[in-house]
A = this chain, B = another copy of it.
Amino acid sequence: MLPVDPDRFLSDLHALRRFGAAGTGKGVSRPAFTPDDIAARDWLASRMAEAGLTPHFDPVGSLFGLAEGHSLLMGSHSDSQPEGGWLDGALGVVAALEVARAAQEAGGPPVSVVSFEDEEGRFGVTTGSSVWSGNQTLEGADALIDPSGITFAEARAAFGDRRGDFVDPARFSGFVEMHIEQGPVLDTTGEKLGVVEAIVGIRDVHVTFTGQQNHAGTTPMHLRRDAFQGLAAFNARLAERFAEVVTPATVWTVGHVALHPNAPSIVPGRARFSVQWRDGDKARLDRMEEIVRTTAAEVAAERDLGLDFGPMIGLDPVTMDRGLRGSLERAAEAEAPGRWRTMPSGALHDATSVARHMPVAMLFVPSIGGISHDFAEDTDEADLVAGLNTLARAVSDLGA
């Protein structure tokens, strides 16, 4: 395994969290394009140079630390949520820096590092990696506006003359991203590592049942067309039907509900609600969509309710590369025998975009209490080091 230095890695990780330190625990506030974010990237660029890599900012502020020639790319992002943790993104960048540095010291294999800009979506979703991978054009991204009314074009101008051209993706053989899980699975099972099988796809649709708004005192139960009771019946039947097709990793959520007129003394005339489901298998997402549509139509027909579907929002699952994933699995078993699992990623990551260009794989370490996007986000340092070592083992395996 590459001779990575856990102390140097942890020291860099703690050094990075001083940029935008929130003053609450280990929390950071380092949103994309803010002075703290740019200062953190300048510091990372200097650490890359010290490690023998060539720092390079692309037009949107994504920072690459390039090894010579054809190389494996590793990294994540160093921008944070407005109230974020010290590890979300930063862990993957600093671990990549340590692996690349150790590889430089060991004379190979060549590893490049990246910190993508605006993964947290001040301007969209994984904006920096999305533009780099061609998911959206730079011109299109430039028109995006953040909640305060600033355009992406104005925001990225803050990088000034640091910026060069886009890096050619053909330089890289693949992309490996380590990240905190941001969920409770590993923390609950006590496992140390998760090798991601797929970044799940999402379907999200708003459904509206329209019944008859009526007086809650004078309208007998058998004459009601109660839109909330339609939602309740749909929800129950959906769970029964989903049970026949889902895996333990599949999730679905009714997170948004709006009744009309939403008053205690009035039978609800309208219920508008979200149904969102996520899974790593596109065929299963399709099957679930069919169940959502069929079940809603059945309930509407049985209860004499109007039915309307809003637009179906969807992102397809991204399957991890078999070869890269296999190296991570062997490394995980060597690092923590019997104490790792394969699992889906329920959240989006930069790897989703990068997968358009090259093979990708991801490694998770536990999130204490499953907490993320919160100043309280944390991971045991022993688990951080286990993740670093697993990356080092995998790179040795791949480079051999």
A217 in contact with B274 (CB, 8 Å): no
| Complex-state Cα separation, A248 to B222, whole angstroms | 8
**A345 neighbours in B (Cβ, 8 Å):** 218
A200 in contact with B183 (CB, 8 Å): no
CB contact between A219 and one of B184, B259, B266 (< 8 Å): that residue? B184
**A268 neighbours in B (Cβ, 8 Å):** 254-255
CB contact between A215 and one of B188, B258, B346 (< 8 Å): that residue? B346
CB distance from A179 to the nearest CB of B (A): 11
Stoichiometry (number of copies): 2
CB distance from A377 to the nearest CB of B (A): 12
Q: What sequence of 0s and 1s flags, for each residue 237-267 of chain A, a beta carbon within 8 Å of any chain B beta carbon?
A: 0000000000011111111111100111111
- Chain B residue at minimum C-beta to C-beta distance from A200: B217
Query: How many residues from A make CB contacts under 8 Å with B?
Result: 55
Is A278 interfacial (CB-CB < 8 Å)?
yes
B254 in contact with A228 (CB, 8 Å): yes
B220 in contact with A184 (CB, 8 Å): yes
CB contact between A264 and one of B204, B217, B222, B251 (< 8 Å): that residue? B204
CB distance from A123 to the nearest CB of B (A): 18
Is A370 interfacial (CB-CB < 8 Å)?
yes
Give 4 A-B pairs besides A215-B372, A216-B278 with Cβ atoms closer than 8 angstroms: A182-B218, A219-B251, A220-B251, A221-B248
18 A-B pairs (CB sep. < 8 Å): A181-B218, A183-B217, A185-B223, A204-B265, A214-B370, A215-B373, A216-B255, A216-B278, A218-B347, A219-B370, A221-B250, A222-B248, A232-B232, A232-B236, A236-B236, A253-B264, A253-B267, A265-B276
Cβ-closest 6 pairs across A and B: A183-B218, A217-B346, A264-B274, A218-B346, A216-B253, A255-B264
